[in-house]
Structure 1
Amino acid sequence: MATIESYATAGGKRYRVRYRTPARKQTDKRGFKTKRDAEAFAATVEVSKLRGEYIDATAARLTIAELGAEWLTRQTHLKPSSYRPVESAWRLHVEPLWGVQAVADIRKTAVQQWVSELTTGDGKGRKPKSATVVIRAYGILASILDSAVDDRRILSNPSRGVNLPRKTKKPHVYLTHEQVHALAMTSKYPTLVLVLAYCGLRWGEAVGLRVKDLDMLRRRINVTENAVEVG
């Protein structure tokens, strides 16, 4: 249970609340002007521990920059081609605004304002970003805050539920056989153009091909590697 102690200051008597966190760590909060305020805080702490809602104030003061750097190191499951736009979105759109913010200070309205300004421009020279860029940047912030919830730094994620821009599908344009062959003939690598056009390979799969991957007797291409150029 929490205990309350009084102590003297130049401004008069003050009260301190000593209590244990759910991890059994001894801590305190001081500066209460009245014993009633201290008792109210102590009761709130005990109730939050019983409900499993206790949040360590120190943990809640960590900034998005600190948590974001850790979050990036955990994205090892991403391929290099997928990681690069994520890192870029973090560096260009998330960290500059949110980096100095403590997770406990972030509000849903502020996140919505940020998303809106990314989508339409901020009127200060920053141009609107595509829906893909906005959603990616938002996803990074939301994921970092999800991790903060999991680690009991905040009780809930303030970024969830904001309105996001919708992606608009562009009409697909397909080349005719004549156009494909015309493109191939003007290319430095006509065979590569034809392989990409007719075999359904991705770029990384096509440039990763080796002679051993071609089965000329069976007329088959065996895709065994995916070469992705990053940087």
Structure 2
Amino acid sequence: MPSVRVRQRAKGAMFTAMYRDPTGRQRSAGTFTSERAALRAARRSESKVETGGWIDQASGRITFRDYVENVWLPSRQVEVSTLAGYRSYLDKHFLPFFGDRPMAEILPSFVQDWVTAAVGSGLSPTSVRKYHVMLHSVFKRAVRDRIIVTNPCESIELPKIPPRKARILTPEEYDQLLSQMPDRFQVLVMTDIETGLRWGELIALRPRHIDFLRKTISVEQTIVEVSRKHSPTGERMIVKDYPKDNEFRTLRVSETLLRSIARRIEQLGLNRDDLIFASTETAGGRPISRNTFRTKVWLPALERSGIDFHVRVHDLRHAHASWLLAGGADLKTVMERMGHSQIMTTQKYLHTLPDADDKALTAFEAVRRRSTP
């Protein structure tokens, strides 16, 4: 209940408006020269508490730096790679711009200034939008904590991402690329195109994950690579006993691939818990760095192959899904094989091969001819 405290002074009585905040703590809504004015102020403040519009003015003076580092970041229940990414984004993009400004003073116009500056610095529209999502999350939490009234990231003008149709590696182009891959890494690339594994899942494979009798590979682990500077554990390569989105899965593979993997295991003398694709051609090797593989192996092989467009290592995963769908596999099966949590993600691989439109037209004409006398 709102109340008023009276204090007698030589010049007359002063009236302090009192109310209780959401935690039950009694607070002042100001001091007035009349009891009626004080009571109105107390009622207004209590109404804000009841409707969720109340904020702690003192808390609003906390700086962006203090809030994200002491409240927001420690509360995030995310994977270590995501946490390391947040730390990197803060250091490079947000703390230099927002760092020492009080949370309550960060208005939409200031967030818009950050977007404008980010675009002007050469940051891509995709990156600006990705970082804005993180920034929006920070202020959303601050609204919930009653640090600020509204989220200043709402209704911000973000750069548009120009539509771009992805080009998928064809089987012929894949053969060109594989032929230029050093012998040491050919089985790795063959495994990736046939399973569609994410990089972290691929380099985490061990002999115990291969069932030669049932002709399957089990996806049970992933290896996350982060910088030591931003790693919560101080380790650069972090092994996790569950893949992304907890999507444990078992994949059928060909006899040809299994023979290649078995030959590699035998030649290197690998134990059941050794990495099949390690940084060295010895048992007990450490995980391969994605960036090292990309710069030292992948890009030189891509250049030698003569393929006339840029292909990422991750594009082998895209090619796997597209080839499955082009070959007639159903969406649900492809979704499970890829480890997607939503079928919408899988649907984007439909009709992505260069000859997909030609095949569609051929199918249309074949049906049309059935009704031609």
Q: TM-score, normalised by structure 1?
A: 0.79
Q: 1:195 aligns with which of 188, 191, 196?
A: 191
Counterpart in the other structure of 2:4:
2
Q: Distance in 1 between matches of 2:8 and 2:97?
A: 41
**How big is each residue's C-alpha offset from its partner over 1:114-157, in whole Å with a ceiling of 9 and x where there is no partner?**
212212x1xxxxx2211232123222222121112111222222
Deviations 1:178-212 (A, max 9, x none): 33233223323101111112321111111111112
Structure 1, gaps ≥5 residues long? 122-126
In structure 1, distance between residues paired with 2:95 and 2:15? 37
SS in structure 1 opposite 2:18?
strand
Q: Is the 8 A contact 1:16 1:28 kept in 2?
A: no
CA offset at residue 29 of structure 1?
Answer: 7.0
Provide the residue aligned with 1:112 in structure 2.
112
Aligned-residue RMSD, C-alpha: 2.9
- Asked whether the 8 Å contact 1:213–1:224 carries over to 2, the reply is yes
2:171 maps to which residue?
177
3-state SS in 2 of match to 1:166: coil
Does structure 1 conserve the Cα–Cα contact (< 8 Å) formed by 2:61 and 2:103?
yes
Task: Work out whether residues 65 and 98 of structure 1, in 8 Å CA contact, stay in contact via their aligned partners in 2.
Answer: yes
| In structure 2, C-alpha distance between the alignment counterparts of 1:66 and 1:44, rounded to whole Å | 31
Bigger Rg, which one? 2
Q: Paired residue for 2:150?
A: 156
> Partners in 1 of 2:153 and 2:36 — Cα distance?
33
Partner Cα distance (2:8, 2:148) in 1? 30
Equivalent of residue 129 in structure 1, options 115, 119, 123:
123
Q: Tell me which moved more, 58-67 or 16-25.
A: 16-25
Distance 2:151 2:60 in 1: 12
> Can you list the C-alpha shifts for 1:96-131, whole angstroms capped at 9, x where unaligned?
111212121121121122212212x1xxxxx22112
Q: What does residue 202 of structure 2 align with?
A: 206
Extract unaligned runs of 5+ from structure 2: 228-373
Question: Percent of pairs identical after alignment?
Answer: 27
Are 1:90 and 1:137, in contact at CA under 8 Å, matched by a contact in 2? no
Per the alignment, residue 84 of structure 2 pairs with 84
SS at match of 2:225: coil
Check whether the contact 1:16–1:29 (CA below 8 A) recurs between aligned residues: no
Mean Cα displacement is larger for which, 39-48 or 142-151? 39-48
SS at match of 1:181: helix
Shift, 1:21, TM fit: 3.4
1:215 aligned residue = 211
Q: CA deviation at 1:45?
A: 4.2
| CA distance in structure 2 between the aligned counterparts of 1:41 and 1:118, rounded to whole angstroms | 47
Contact 1:89/1:133 (8 A) holds in 2: no
Q: What secondary structure sits across from 1:197 in the alignment?
A: helix
Distance change (3 Å), C-alpha of 1:195 and 1:221: same
Indicate conservation of the 8 Å contact 2:19/2:42, yes or no.
no
SS where residue 223 of structure 2 aligns? coil
Deviation of 1:41 after TM superposition, in Å, equals: 7.0
Q: TM-score normalized by structure 2?
A: 0.51
Is the CA contact 1:184–1:191 (under 8 Å) kept in the aligned structure 2? Answer: no
- Structure 1 44/26 Cα, relative in aligned 2: closer, same or farther at 3 Å? same
Alpha-carbon distance in 2 for matches of 1:7, 1:96? 49
Alignment partners' CA distance in 2, 1:87 and 1:95: 10
